[in-house]
Amino acid sequence: MIVLDLVMLFSAAAFLYFIVWKRIIKMYYVYWFYRRQGIPCVGFPLPVIGNMLTFLKVRRMQNHYSKTPLEDYFTYAFGPGKLPPVFLDMRDPRGILVVTDPKYMEDLYIFKNKFFDKADKERRTY
């Protein structure tokens, strides 16, 4: 009986760790980290779900003549023609750094390419 209580207590603690640390505290730390560097964000993220409500709102407004969902989402967030060269998207708790300027992309892929092989996030870049 004591073992079962310990297992239940451990599983509850692990669940709370996952929700509180990984999905709330870490998400706001990433948001604060990039905002302190002057990188704009799509919007202030809500706990656990981030900016998914805004994305779903834009997705519902789409029609046959719309652009891709992400293009409409970014245009909705920043306004038409006001897309910054680098910004943060908080649909994921880890944050997604979006680079839209070709000059920055050239610098990243040509001059700083040795760092892409080492970072886990950049290995999945297509």
Q: Where are the domains of the chain?
A: 2-123
Q: How far apart are CA 98 and CA 83, in angstroms?
A: 11
- Residues across the chain: 126
| pLDDT tens sequence for the chain (126 residues) | 677 778 888 888 888 888 788 778 888 888 999 999 999 998 888 887 778 888 889 899 988 888 888 889 999 999 888 889 999 998 887 888 898 898 988 887 787 776 666 666 655 555
What predicted TM-score, i.e. pTM, was given to this entire model? 0.72
